[in-house]
Amino acid sequence: MANFPFYYILFAYLIFLAIFFIFSFANISHLYATGTFTLPAFAVTSIVSIWCVLILGATLVSLANVNWNTTVVLLGPAGFVTFQ
């Protein structure tokens, strides 16, 4: 049986976000470094940026009412995963 606070899952999400932003920055840097930041590239960059902002915004709104201090119990007597 293992217990951990629910906000531990947020740490994993934050690590993912850090990797995501590093690679996104690398992509945009490539466009700039190769002198190819033209109109089509700008358009695609804008579309992808808007898409990402919408995803992050929807995630933030969806998770506004969650109590992150809840304890997650793995393999406890009440079941595989339970919340206290």
Partner 1 sequence: MKLGEVIKQKSYEKIVFIIREHWLTYVPTAIMMLILAMLPVALYYVTITTNPTFFDDLYQRTFLILVLSMYELSIALFFYSSFLMYYLNMLIVTNDRLIEIKQNNLFSRLVSEMDLYKIQDSSSEINGIIPTIFDYGKLTIETAGELSNFTFTAVPRVNEVRRRLIQLAEDDRKYHNSTEAHQI
CA pair distance 49, 45, nearest whole angstrom: 6
- In whole angstroms, give the CA distance from residue 42 to residue 62: 30
Residues 23-42 that bind partner 1 (CB under 8 A): 23-24, 26-27, 30-36, 40-41
Q: Give the integer Cα–Cα distance in Å for 15 and 65.
A: 22
CA 16, 19, 21, 24 dihedral sign is negative
Query: Which residues 52-71 are close enough to bind partner 1 by CB under 8 A?
Result: 52, 55-56, 58-59, 62-63, 65-66, 70
- Which chain residues interact with partner 1 by CB under 8 A? 6, 9-10, 13, 16-17, 20, 23-24, 26-27, 30-36, 40-41, 44-45, 48, 51-52, 55-56, 58-59, 62-63, 65-66, 70, 72, 83
